[in-house]
Amino acid sequence: MRPAGQTWEAQAKATPADERARLVARALEEVAKGALRPVIGATFPLDQAASAHRAIESRELLGKAVITV
Protein backbone atom coordinates (compact mmCIF):
# COMPACT_ATOMS: atom_id res chain seq x y z
CA MET A 1 0.00 0.00 0.00
CA ARG A 2 1.28 3.47 -0.91
CA PRO A 3 0.22 6.05 1.69
CA ALA A 4 0.93 9.17 -0.40
CA GLY A 5 -1.25 10.02 -3.36
CA GLN A 6 -3.06 6.70 -3.38
CA THR A 7 -6.72 6.66 -4.27
CA TRP A 8 -8.89 3.61 -3.89
CA GLU A 9 -11.79 5.01 -5.92
CA ALA A 10 -11.09 2.92 -9.04
CA GLN A 11 -10.69 -0.24 -6.94
CA ALA A 12 -13.91 0.48 -5.04
CA LYS A 13 -15.86 0.99 -8.26
CA ALA A 14 -14.54 -2.31 -9.61
CA THR A 15 -15.58 -4.24 -6.49
CA PRO A 16 -19.17 -5.55 -6.33
CA ALA A 17 -21.39 -3.83 -3.74
CA ASP A 18 -21.89 -6.98 -1.64
CA GLU A 19 -18.14 -7.52 -1.44
CA ARG A 20 -17.57 -3.86 -0.43
CA ALA A 21 -20.21 -4.25 2.30
CA ARG A 22 -18.47 -7.37 3.61
CA LEU A 23 -15.09 -5.61 3.64
CA VAL A 24 -16.48 -2.56 5.42
CA ALA A 25 -18.17 -4.75 8.04
CA ARG A 26 -14.90 -6.60 8.63
CA ALA A 27 -12.96 -3.34 8.91
CA LEU A 28 -15.45 -2.01 11.46
CA GLU A 29 -15.11 -5.21 13.49
CA GLU A 30 -11.33 -4.74 13.53
CA VAL A 31 -11.73 -1.10 14.60
CA ALA A 32 -14.06 -2.18 17.42
CA LYS A 33 -11.46 -4.72 18.61
CA GLY A 34 -8.72 -2.09 18.50
CA ALA A 35 -6.79 -4.07 15.90
CA LEU A 36 -7.25 -1.40 13.23
CA ARG A 37 -6.91 2.29 14.03
CA PRO A 38 -7.44 5.04 11.48
CA VAL A 39 -4.61 7.55 11.13
CA ILE A 40 -5.77 11.07 11.89
CA GLY A 41 -3.76 13.57 9.88
CA ALA A 42 -5.33 16.72 11.32
CA THR A 43 -8.28 17.94 13.35
CA PHE A 44 -10.20 21.08 12.37
CA PRO A 45 -12.96 22.94 14.22
CA LEU A 46 -16.21 23.23 12.29
CA ASP A 47 -15.55 26.88 11.40
CA GLN A 48 -12.41 25.74 9.55
CA ALA A 49 -14.15 23.07 7.46
CA ALA A 50 -13.08 24.83 4.25
CA SER A 51 -9.44 24.52 5.37
CA ALA A 52 -10.00 20.82 6.00
CA HIS A 53 -11.34 20.37 2.46
CA ARG A 54 -8.38 22.26 1.00
CA ALA A 55 -5.97 20.06 2.96
CA ILE A 56 -7.68 16.93 1.64
CA GLU A 57 -7.84 18.15 -1.95
CA SER A 58 -4.18 19.22 -1.94
CA ARG A 59 -3.21 15.85 -0.44
CA GLU A 60 -1.14 17.60 2.22
CA LEU A 61 -2.48 15.27 4.92
CA LEU A 62 -1.27 11.79 5.65
CA GLY A 63 -4.33 10.29 7.24
CA LYS A 64 -7.88 11.44 7.79
CA ALA A 65 -9.16 14.96 8.42
CA VAL A 66 -11.48 15.17 11.42
CA ILE A 67 -13.90 18.06 11.83
CA THR A 68 -14.93 18.69 15.41
CA VAL A 69 -18.29 20.18 16.41
pLDDT band of 38, cuts 50, 70, 90: confident
Whether the full predicted model's pTM is greater than 0.75, yes or no, is no
Say yes or no to pLDDT of 58 above 80: yes
Domain annotation covers residue 14: yes
Residues 45 and 32 in one domain: no
Sign of CA dihedral 49, 53, 58, 60: positive
Quote the number of domains for the chain: 2
Provide mean pLDDT across the span 36-61: 92
Q: Which domain holds residue 26?
A: 8-37
